[in-house]
Amino acid sequence: MARVAIIFPQRFEEPEYQKAAEAFHRAGHELVHLEGRGKKEKQNQGSPWKTGKPIKEVSVEDFDALLIPGGYHPERLEFAEEELHFFRKFLETGKPVFGTGLKEA
């Protein structure tokens, strides 16, 4: 079982998160939503696999992978400085980073 950190950009579509989260959950992985910008994330509150932690209280070493929902327009992904710092540090580890997006029909 892997421990997967999730950071949310300012804008993303719910299905970009939901499909990936369900797949990770079915595979038995623990998902940890990292809460940045001084607020708690509101996506999927009450879901059985959602746990939240302030991003300032975790380390990249605590996780096996990183998921970032919302990759349709990667140039439009917006993050707070603390999230960018976490993302950069995570990339330095060489651990897997996953991004999701929706395809146009």
The model's pTM is 0.79
For tokens 């804008």, name the residue.
11
Model confidence band, residue 3 (pLDDT cutoffs 50, 70, 90): very high
**How confident is the model at residue 43, as a pLDDT?**
46
> What is the Cα 8 distance to its own chain's centre?
5
Tell me the two tokens of residue 93: 């580890």
Q: Is the pLDDT of residue 24 over 60?
A: yes
Tell me the two tokens of residue 39: 């607020």
Q: Tell me the average pLDDT across 26-43.
A: 73
Tell me the two tokens of residue 42: 């509101």
Tell me the two tokens of residue 100: 């999701």
Per the CB < 8 A criterion, the answer to whether 31 and 50 are in contact is yes
For the chain, the structural domain boundaries read 21-72+84-105
Tell me the two tokens of residue 21: 């989260």
